[in-house]
Amino acid sequence: MNWPDYRRWLKPEQKARAVAWLRKRYAEGASIREIAEETGRSYGFVRKALFDAGVTLRGRGGARLPRSN
């Protein structure tokens, strides 16, 4: 997708296409940080766009350490 400069607001038709693309990339397994880097947009922009689109966000990753008593 051809992303406009990050300092510009997206027009409604651009935002609709952008959200569809964001949803697709996120469903493919890309992290919010990876998508933000690819698009030149902020982490917050990507997260909010996905959240507003009704996407169920994945939990934070990483292995959990066993509990010590």
Decide: helix, strand or coil at residue 1.
coil
Spacing of C-alpha 7 from chain mean position:
17
Instruction: Give residue-wise pLDDT tens across range 48-62.
Output: 999 999 999 988 776
Indicate whether this model's pTM tops 0.85: no
56 Cβ neighbours under 8 A, 6+ residues apart: none
Alpha-carbon gap, residue 46 to 41, rounded angstroms: 7
Question: Per-residue pLDDT tens for 19-46?
Answer: 999 999 999 999 999 999 998 889 999 9
CA atoms of 19 and 46, how far apart (whole Å): 9
DSSP label at residue 62: S
